[in-house]
Structure 1
Amino acid sequence: MEKEKGISRTELIALIVSSCIGTGIFGITSDVSKAAAPGPALLAWLFVGLGILALVLCLNNLSQKRPDLEAGIFSYAGAGFGTLGEFISGWSYWLSAWLGNIAFATMLMSAIGTFIPLFSGGQNVPSILGAIIFCWFLTILVNHGVESASFINFIGTIFKIVPLILFVILMVIFFKGGMFTADFWGQVADNVSKGTVTGSIGEQIKGSLMTMIWVFIGVEGASVMAHRAKTRKEAEQASIIGFILLVLIYVLISILPYGTLTRAQLASAGQPALGYVLKNVVGEWGATIINLGLIVSTIISWLSWTMLPAETTMLAAEDKAMPKLWGKVNAKGAPTASLYITAILQTIFLFSLLFTKEAYEFAYSLCTAAILFSYLLVGLYQMKLSAQRNEWGQFGIGVLAAGFQLACMFLAGWQEVLLVSISFIPGFIIYYQACVENKRRISGAEKLTMGIILLLSLITIWLIIKGVIVIS
């Protein structure tokens, strides 16, 4: 029976858009232009867009075929690859979510620092304390009811996109076709392209991938929250509509600036890059609007990403893939224990920002690498289920989704993927606790899988010691 109360389709669309549009979009102009000229950037968006669309179609298909699996992408991994598969998916997603919050914290305090010098740079003691206050405020808000928090998220999303719409309008007004087409494929190696990648189109596309995937993380939000939606059909519709809106926004904001400033100017832009572009095009007031938009955007995205990791561990615990403590809920239906455990870990990790120079870049690259594990398992289960049902069209979509994730792992983020493997050292201890709690023996296949992942983690540690993998 469909639920009469719950999160509406409109609110789910807002959740997806808000989850994805956070800090990344405000720096995407600079990040993409460093890696690619307009032509390769458009090809990269096509590649990433098709890969993410395949993922969304997989999630919608699995939601239709397996409505009994309420834990979304985590239970799909469980149905296809057992309890350990669900744990790996849930652990990776949870890790990705709160690492993303660390990136939000760094960028938020840095943006506030442009107005209040006390927080300048975003990584000093006042900034860390301010970020911790935000972390706990949002945790308490979500703890008082996920549905009410989603409504606040919907209202905030409306306000956060206004600066982005203004940016697009101004870029269209000041767009110069000649500047846009100059070195369209990025193959002119001279001073005009200083600080950017030139030459091979393939290398330029490869260099853009992790940045583009980073801004799409959260597109699965409607699937994660599907069991709280009014109907599953609305959750599926929200996924498609949210995806289309995101593609449109990202392409416009990352590509139009090539027609207003040179690629070298865009690549050397300070953060937030959108503020730098508007400052050069219309003056100081443009940068002010973007900084204000960044502050609102980050806070609202942080709210979404406070909801999602807690929901992840709660659902995994319900399926006995994590200890029962992580699944306990309060009278409001919010996973209190999971929320507080995650907030405590974020609080501890935030202090590490005092000792690293590139906290934002490091956090978001690890966040992106971690989510690839969860997305990969969705594609693989789509393939398995479709083969069992002889639905070869859906099987093909699963191949595209899984192939895309593997390509990104090997082409763009192999070092980050190896770093994520280290997190499974404490992760498997928690998984062992869940097995003991639920009186379930760890199978030989599970031991083999865990052994391989732990071996990768040890190799990664050795590569770090040898200096092959450098942590910022």
Structure 2
Amino acid sequence: MDTEKKGIGKGELIALIVSSCIGTGIFGITSDVSAAAAPGPALLAWVFAGLGFLMLVLCLNNLSEKRPDLEAGIFSYAGAGFGPMGEFISGWSYWLSAWLGNIAFATMLMASLGTFFPVFKGGQNVPSIIVAIIFCWLLTILVNNGVETASFVNMIGTICKVLPLIIFIIIMIVSFKSGMFTADFWGRVANNASKGTTTGSTWSQMKGTLMTLIWVFIGVEGASVMGHRAKSRKDAQAATLISYGCLVLAYVLISILPYGVLTRAQLAGMGQPAIGHVLQMTVGNWGSILINVGLIISTIVSWLSWTMLPAETTMLVADDKAMPKLWGDTNAKNAPTASLMITGVLQTIFLFSLLFTQKAYEFAYSLCAAAILFSYLFVGLYQMKYSKENGEWGQFTIGLLSAAFMFACMFLAGWQEVLLVSISFIPGFYIYYLACKENNHKMTTAEKWVMTLILVLSVVAIWLVANGTIAIK
């Protein structure tokens, strides 16, 4: 086997994963976490989320090693374990999550540009939408000209956007005061100094951070999705573990160290990007400018990564005949042109909805996080199934812990968003029907029952939205 084949190398894969995860979320994580939890519960929440995502990473690496024949990675695991319907649900959810993440990026990018160009202030006016659409199509064209080329651009951009975060961490370490950090370590003191923050039980504070923590971890599976384009499977596995370790360290330091620099109420009340305001209060205006420049670079580069991932998703699922073959057609440079164009058109249409939405960024990233939980859940479930069949009980336990974590996140933090995601399967199942017809696949009784259950959930979601139980802001 030619281990020197043309493809994406380990360094580029690490850059892809880090860039996919370090997007807009890390720049706002300080205020999001501090509003929900004091230092103690926040650290416990990181332990909970960190271990949960470690189980997912270990599942991905194990399955990549044991089933190298499943080139669609995260989606084909669902297909191998639960048939074409399982692969479609996993792929559809991942595709939806990826381009909804792009809408969140578009909103944050234009808002950050508004710091320097007032015409874009707020990020949700007509000029912002027009420029966001231009960005959308420029990135689509770049990826359409070759995914390996785009991954190289992504690696360069990742280096540029990580530097401001390293400077932020250094300044926080130098400015850290242990007395301020431990003043209300468990968040049980309710007074004027805690205004705008959550007090109460440790568990309730931990639960309040979960959707934020899920959002910043999305993308850790990037090497699995792009694994078939890697120079070797071992490169993809190593890249996943190295990236995971770097991300956890960065997230914990950036979200926890500021508790020892400013009060929790000050952190919770920060505008976005929160870490820019933290630096502004700590070292002056240059800190805010540095972070805003970093955020702009970060958003553009993450948007590039997430332009690659949704198109790659539908191409791989179509190759496995769980979607119509149109979604898998590639051009001379091996880029999934049809999938890129369809996704680009949908993003363009959805961007116009920002004119009518007050909380576009929060709503988009909440749906993004909820949708991807379906894909992650299937990884743990297939790890359990495969390990049981082969008597690998240690790996079975890892799969069980991963699946249990995803179920817990669905019910504890995002049940409303999970119900909203089910609505997307109304058109989705029509696309699956077309794939079945095209590939002469007769839907089984089990598939029909699954389809019925999800469609019932979508009707319930529509009803809850209509009566105001689920509020869309």
TM-score, normalized by length of structure 2?
0.99
Paired position in structure 2 for 1:391:
392
Shift of 1:192: 1.3
Cα distance in structure 2, aligned partners of 1:163 and 1:210: 25
Cα distance in structure 2, aligned partners of 1:313 and 1:464: 29
Q: Say whether residues 1:49 and 2:50 are aligned partners.
A: yes
Q: Give the AA of the match of 1:196.
A: T
Paired position in structure 2 for 1:416:
417
Residues 394-409 of structure 1 mapped to structure 2, 5 A cutoff: 394-409=395-410
Paired position in structure 2 for 1:355:
356
| 1:114-173 per-position Cα deviation (integer Å, ceiling 9, x unaligned) | 001111110000000000000000000000000000000000100000110010011011
Q: Give the AA of the match of 2:258.
A: P
Residues 78-97 of structure 1 mapped to structure 2, 5 A cutoff: 78-97=79-98
Considering only aligned residues, what root-mean-square deviation do their CA atoms show, in Å? 0.5
Shift of 1:258: 0.3
Cα distance in structure 2, aligned partners of 1:207 and 1:255: 16
Cα distance in structure 1, aligned partners of 2:273 and 2:371: 25
Paired position in structure 2 for 1:200:
201
Percent identity for Structure 1 against Structure 2: 75
Residues 191-270 of structure 1 mapped to structure 2, 5 A cutoff: 191-270=192-271
Task: Give the 3-state SS of the residue equivalent to 1:215 in structure 2.
Answer: helix
Cα distance in structure 2, aligned partners of 1:47 and 1:314: 34
Paired position in structure 1 for 2:465:
464
Cα distance in structure 1, aligned partners of 2:223 and 2:76: 15
Shift of 1:191: 1.2
| 1:389-439 per-position Cα deviation (integer Å, ceiling 9, x unaligned) | 000000000011000000000000000000000000000000000001111
Shift of 1:5: 1.1
Paired position in structure 1 for 2:288:
287
| 1:49-80 per-position Cα deviation (integer Å, ceiling 9, x unaligned) | 00000000000000011100000000000000
Q: Give the AA of the match of 2:320.
A: D
Q: Give the AA of the match of 2:415.
A: W
Paired position in structure 2 for 1:124:
125
Shift of 1:466: 1.1
Is the CA contact 1:189–1:198 (under 8 Å) kept in the aligned structure 2? Answer: yes
Paired position in structure 2 for 1:297:
298
Q: Give the AA of the match of 1:198.
A: T
Task: Give the 3-state SS of the residue equivalent to 1:101 in structure 2.
Answer: helix
| 1:214-241 per-position Cα deviation (integer Å, ceiling 9, x unaligned) | 0000000000000000000110000000
Paired position in structure 1 for 2:64:
63
Task: Give the 3-state SS of the residue equivalent to 1:161 in structure 2.
Answer: helix
Cα distance in structure 1, aligned partners of 2:464 and 2:121: 34
Cα distance in structure 2, aligned partners of 1:440 and 1:202: 47
Paired position in structure 2 for 1:75:
76
Q: Say whether residues 1:177 and 2:199 are aligned partners.
A: no
Shift of 1:330: 0.2
Cα distance in structure 1, aligned partners of 2:463 and 2:358: 23
Shift of 1:111: 0.2
Q: Give the AA of the match of 2:351.
A: L
Cα distance in structure 1, aligned partners of 2:111 and 2:44: 32
Is the CA contact 1:2–1:231 (under 8 Å) kept in the aligned structure 2? Answer: no
Cα distance in structure 2, aligned partners of 1:139 and 1:87: 23
Cα distance in structure 2, aligned partners of 1:160 and 1:116: 20
Cα distance in structure 1, aligned partners of 2:307 and 2:465: 31
Cα distance in structure 2, aligned partners of 1:376 and 1:190: 41
Shift of 1:199: 1.5
Residues 151-170 of structure 1 mapped to structure 2, 5 A cutoff: 151-170=152-171
Q: Give the AA of the match of 1:356.
A: T
Cα distance in structure 2, aligned partners of 1:192 and 1:199: 15
Paired position in structure 2 for 1:380:
381
Change (3 A) 1:163 1:435: same
| 1:193-226 per-position Cα deviation (integer Å, ceiling 9, x unaligned) | 1111111000000000110010000000000000
The runs of at least 4 aligned residues of structure 1 exceeding 3 Å deviation read none
Shift of 1:190: 1.1
Cα distance in structure 2, aligned partners of 1:73 and 1:12: 16
Task: Give the 3-state SS of the residue equivalent to 2:294 in structure 1.
Answer: helix
Q: Give the AA of the match of 2:118.
A: P
Is the CA contact 1:39–1:184 (under 8 Å) kept in the aligned structure 2? Answer: yes
Q: Give the AA of the match of 1:197.
A: T
Shift of 1:105: 0.0
TM-score, normalized by length of structure 1?
1.00
Is the CA contact 1:2–1:230 (under 8 Å) kept in the aligned structure 2? Answer: no
Paired position in structure 2 for 1:100:
101
| 1:61-115 per-position Cα deviation (integer Å, ceiling 9, x unaligned) | 0001110000000000000000000000000000000000000000000000100
Is the CA contact 1:103–1:360 (under 8 Å) kept in the aligned structure 2? Answer: yes
Paired position in structure 1 for 2:316:
315
Unaligned runs of 5+ in 1: none
Paired position in structure 1 for 2:443:
442
Aligned residues: 472
Task: Give the 3-state SS of the residue equivalent to 1:157 in structure 2.
Answer: helix
Task: Give the 3-state SS of the residue equivalent to 1:330 in structure 2.
Answer: coil
Task: Give the 3-state SS of the residue equivalent to 2:217 in structure 1.
Answer: coil
Paired position in structure 2 for 1:369:
370
Q: Give the AA of the match of 1:78.
A: G
Cα distance in structure 2, aligned partners of 1:250 and 1:419: 28
Is the CA contact 1:424–1:453 (under 8 Å) kept in the aligned structure 2? Answer: yes
Paired position in structure 1 for 2:141:
140
Cα distance in structure 2, aligned partners of 1:136 and 1:227: 25
Cα distance in structure 1, aligned partners of 2:469 and 2:142: 43
Q: Give the AA of the match of 1:229.
A: A
Cα distance in structure 1, aligned partners of 2:194 and 2:395: 43
Q: Give the AA of the match of 1:390.
A: G
Cα distance in structure 2, aligned partners of 1:199 and 1:415: 23
Paired position in structure 2 for 1:189:
190
Paired position in structure 1 for 2:26:
25
Shift of 1:2: 4.7
Cα distance in structure 2, aligned partners of 1:32 and 1:370: 21
Q: Say whether residues 1:454 and 2:455 are aligned partners.
A: yes
